[in-house]
Amino acid sequence: MGGDELEGTANMILQTIKLNPGSHLRMIKEGMNISMGTTQYHLNRLEKSGRITSTRNGLHKHYFPIGIFQENEKEILQVLGQETARDILMTIIEKQTPTQTDIVNSVGISGASVNWHLKRLIAIKLVEETKDGHFKRYHVFDIETSKYITTLMRNYYPNIWNKWSNRLIEIFLSLSGEEMDKA
């Protein structure tokens, strides 16, 4: 590979990260259809040259453009980048104050997995847990958090936002229908 080709690949990876902040190695590799070694090489170069930054979450290292995101935004984008966490978050929004069992039934994964994701969502202050008798109920932290989530989704995950917006419209229409029935 010549110098121009190396720099071209690095710039393409940088653009991929700018368009998909919070991407991890495999997502970048598969999205660009390049080898794992090439991807790792360029990510290391970009990070050492100060053009990107990374955070580690478990086994995955997530990459972000420099200077755009605060730490809590990086954590939120990492979570929103995971389908299961997004499904749990949408279930909480849809059902308003579901129990863990409600979430398990809706998302279709084990209670232990739901619990693990809920702890992460609570830790980054996207979701709040409240006691209701013998049950714990979950809801989006507050209205500002809801606006923040939708802004991040719309800006950085537009395809997912389009799916979410259709579901949210259905929720609001059903809620307004219930209000009309009560009148």
Residues 26-54 as b/e (b if ≥16 CB within 10 A, e otherwise) read ebbbeebebeeebbebbbebbeeeebbbb
| Domains defined along the chain, listed by start | 3-68 (1.10.10.10), 76-182 (1.10.10.10)
pTM of the model: 0.62
pLDDT in tens, the chain (183 residues): 545 555 789 999 999 998 888 888 998 999 899 999 999 999 999 999 999 988 887 778 889 888 777 767 778 887 777 888 888 988 888 888 999 999 999 999 999 999 999 998 998 888 999 998 889 999 987 777 777 777 777 777 776 676 666 666 666 666 565 555 555
